[in-house]
């Protein structure tokens, strides 16, 4: 199979313009790209967009050149502006099929090579000057078209499973409203107090995030396995994604001052990507958090499944953004501000009934997720067999 330089495979689109207020609704930042997913399912900014941004067209490949180890690349869902911390790539259709191009960019074959040329320790970045020199082996155009057809069929099935997962989550949200009422109105007059009040009453420990400043691990500290080091983008679809996260050695993790989350803790992202949630499972003795993620540890009177659902509610998410979006160019809500957020606590028995309902729906989700994993394995195998 022939070998091509990347500059012969793809065009790097560098056209920029200053954002306007209209762009806030359609702007796509790196925080909107999910590791390993070609789809962009959310966009927009709650704060003014500053600085020149890249001009994207629907169908372009949006590539996260900053922190490339997160393996973020997706198809632009519309025309608009994209983060200057990314690249916009278009295929050279004389060399690579337009249909295959997205899968090539998302492949381990491409990302492994790209990550190796990242520069910088804190936020490793890929420069076009180095990327364009990389060489890749591609099958002939006929084989590319056949491969693309298989990959898109698998991807469409994957998206259908994702839709079913989404509908299951919507069912849980409806059950939450039915049992507890709309938190905006609190129709049952459940007790509502700031987080810090529930901390004082020993319902929860003081919320905690990861290490800041000099204690924050650098990219050079990352290893292939060990203690998961969780960033905001590693919380995907309500779970901690251990495939996309980085890892620290256990001695390195134990040398840190804080951010030790354990099974049962409720996580919420509070920097850059605001409001993603997850419950820590028991796959590891503990996981380490970055300064982008906070854990909430329950002591009494609260159920972690209820607490996560409450954090997911439109009411709480809006309250977070009211604080996070004020006076900052990048969404952020620190621990001090989080302690001012309202927390509604219904009777614990009702919380447990809701948790039982969620656990039942989780059984259905598990089957769907297993099917998704199988499809991912198939897609990776197809790409591995045909690239390189």
**Residue whose entry in the numeric block shows the structure tokens 């520069």:** 119
Coil, helix or strand at residue 13: strand
Output the pLDDT for position 329.
43
Dihedral, 176, 182, 184, 190 alpha carbons, nearest 10:
-80
Output the pLDDT for position 326.
47
- Cα four-point dihedral sign 229, 231, 234, 239: positive
Does the residue 172 lie in any domain? Answer: no
Same domain, 196 and 134: no
Position 328 confidence tier, pLDDT thresholds 50, 70, 90: very low
Does the residue 271 lie in any domain? Answer: yes
Position 330 confidence tier, pLDDT thresholds 50, 70, 90: low
Last residue of a domain, one of 138, 165, 180: 138
Residue 49 maps to which CATH number? 3.90.220.20
Same domain, 125 and 231: no
Q: DSSP character for 218?
A: P
**Total tally of structural domains belonging to the chain:** 2
Same domain, 131 and 203: no
Structure tokens that stand for 376 in this block: 């991912």
Same domain, 16 and 134: yes
Same domain, 80 and 199: no
Q: Smallest Cα–Cα separation from 329: which of 15, 17, 24?
A: 24
**Which has the higher per-residue pLDDT, 212 or 40?**
40
Does the residue 19 lie in any domain? Answer: yes
Same domain, 320 and 195: yes
Output the pLDDT for position 219.
85
The 10s digit of each residue's pLDDT in 16-55 is 999 999 999 999 999 999 888 899 999 998 788 899 999 9
- Name the CA radius of gyration of the chain, rounded: 22
The 10s digit of each residue's pLDDT in 15-25 is 999 999 999 99
Position 57 confidence tier, pLDDT thresholds 50, 70, 90: very high
Does the residue 369 lie in any domain? Answer: no
Position 125 confidence tier, pLDDT thresholds 50, 70, 90: very high
Same domain, 134 and 205: no
Position 327 confidence tier, pLDDT thresholds 50, 70, 90: very low
Against a cut of 0.85, is the pTM above it?
no
Question: Residue 211 above 90 pLDDT?
Answer: no
Does the residue 321 lie in any domain? Answer: yes
Domain region containing 248 = 191-345
Same domain, 109 and 252: no
Question: Residue 267 above 60 pLDDT?
Answer: yes
Same domain, 109 and 216: no
Percent with pLDDT over 70 in the chain: 98
């Amino acid at each position: 199979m022939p070998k091509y330089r990347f500059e012969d495979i793809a065009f790097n689109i560098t056209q920029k313009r200053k954002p306007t207020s209209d762009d806030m609704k359609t702007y796509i930042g790196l925080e909107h790209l999910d590791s390993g997913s070609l789809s962009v399912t959310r966009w927009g900014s709650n704060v003014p967009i500053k600085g020149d941004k890249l001009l994207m067209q629907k169908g372009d490949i949006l590539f996260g050149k900053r922190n490339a180890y997160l393996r973020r690349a997706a198809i632009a869902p519309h025309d608009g502006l994209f983060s200057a911390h990314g690249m916009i790539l278009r295929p050279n259709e004389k060399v690579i099929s337009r249909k295959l191009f997205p899968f090539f960019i998302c492949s381990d074959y491409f990302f492994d090579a790209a990550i190796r040329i990242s520069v910088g320790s804190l936020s490793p970045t890929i420069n076009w000057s180095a990327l364009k020199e990389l060489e890749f082996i591609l099958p002939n155009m006929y084989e590319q078209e056949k491969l693309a057809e298989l990959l898109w069929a698998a991807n469409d099935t994957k998206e259908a499973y994702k839709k079913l997962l989404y509908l299951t989550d919507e069912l849980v949200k409806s059950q939450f409203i039915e049992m507890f009422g709309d938190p905006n109105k609190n129709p049952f007059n459940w007790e509502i107090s700031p987080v810090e009040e529930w901390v004082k009453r020993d319902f929860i420990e003081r919320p905690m995030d990861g290490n800041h400043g000099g204690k924050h691990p650098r990219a050079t500290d990352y290893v292939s396995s060990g203690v998961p080091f969780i960033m905001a983008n590693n919380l995907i679809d309500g779970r901690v994604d251990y495939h996309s996260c980085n890892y620290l050695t256990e001695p390195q993790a134990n040398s840190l001052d804080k951010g030790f989350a354990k099974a049962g803790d409720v996580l919420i992202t509070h920097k850059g990507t605001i409001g993603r949630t997850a419950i820590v499972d028991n796959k590891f003795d503990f996981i380490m958090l970055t300064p982008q993620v906070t854990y909430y540890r329950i002591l009494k009177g609260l159920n972690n499944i209820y607490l996560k659902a409450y954090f997911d509610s439109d009411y709480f998410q809006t309250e977070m953004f009211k604080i996070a979006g004020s006076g900052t160019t990048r969404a952020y809500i620190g621990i001090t501000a989080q302690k001012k957020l309202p927390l509604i606590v219904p009777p614990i028995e009702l919380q447990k009934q809701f948790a039982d309902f969620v656990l039942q729906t989780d059984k259905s989700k598990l089957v769907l997720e297993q099917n998704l994993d199988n499809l991912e394995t198939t897609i990776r195998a197809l790409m591995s067999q045909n690239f390189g």
